Amino acid sequence: MIKEEFKKVYEKYNPIFEPIISKMIQDNYKYFQIGETIRWGFRYDNDLAIMGTCNRKNNEIHLNIFSVKKAYEDNNLMDVEYFVIHEARHIFQNIKIKEHKAGINNGVDPNLIEKWIYEGEHYIKSLDENGNENPKYFEQDSELDAYAFSYALMKYKYKDVDLYVPKYYGNEFYSIVEDWLKYFKNYDEE
């Protein structure tokens, strides 16, 4: 049933969504700090709160077509861009992990990379076994990094933004966001 619904939604909306998502990636690519092409595609998920995921093995972003459709219908593509950037940050993390394992000094704190490695090996899902939001998911350094990066980039580009920030984040999150805002400003002034 869900596969048939996915196929119907995909056939109708992919011609609309594909150029929009591709442009989002293209417009933000210079900030991602990665050299490879970002591959992405659609998947289906009943949970509209899960906008996207990043496959750690092949660095491909999978967007929930039903979440994108809802955001599109609600005239809220900013949420889609926010999570595209979030998942692209996970690609950055995966690349830095690979470089670190190869002994390459890549400018990222090796202790942070070791945390990302550990989290990847002991990944905590966003929902617990009862389908409730899992606070431990948001406490992972890789998620804090991805949320702060994406929130800061959206704030930098659009100034006033009303985006999802996990309720578990406090001063540390906003401190990281401020650091990223300074970085983006300096990056664009160069």
* For range 40-52, the mean pLDDT: 90
pLDDT tens per residue across span 99-146: 999 999 999 999 999 999 999 999 999 888 888 889 999 999 999 999
- Give the pLDDT of residue 122: 96
Residue 82 vs residue 46, higher pLDDT:
82
* For range 41-63, the mean pLDDT: 92
- Give the pLDDT of residue 42: 97
- Give the pLDDT of residue 48: 85
Residue 32 vs residue 127, higher pLDDT:
32
Average pLDDT across the chain, whole number: 94
- Give the pLDDT of residue 1: 55
Residue 52's Cβ-count burial label (10 Å; 0-12, 13-18, 19+) is: buried
Nearest alpha-carbon partner for 136 in 146, 145, 126: 126
Both tokens of 184, joined, read: 């983006």
- Residue 22 CA to residue 115 CA, distance in Å, equals 31
Per-residue confidence band for 154, with pLDDT thresholds at 50, 70 and 90: very high
**Does the pLDDT at position 162 exceed 60?**
yes
Provide the residue type at 115 as one letter: K
Nearest alpha-carbon partner for 24 in 122, 137, 115, 150: 150
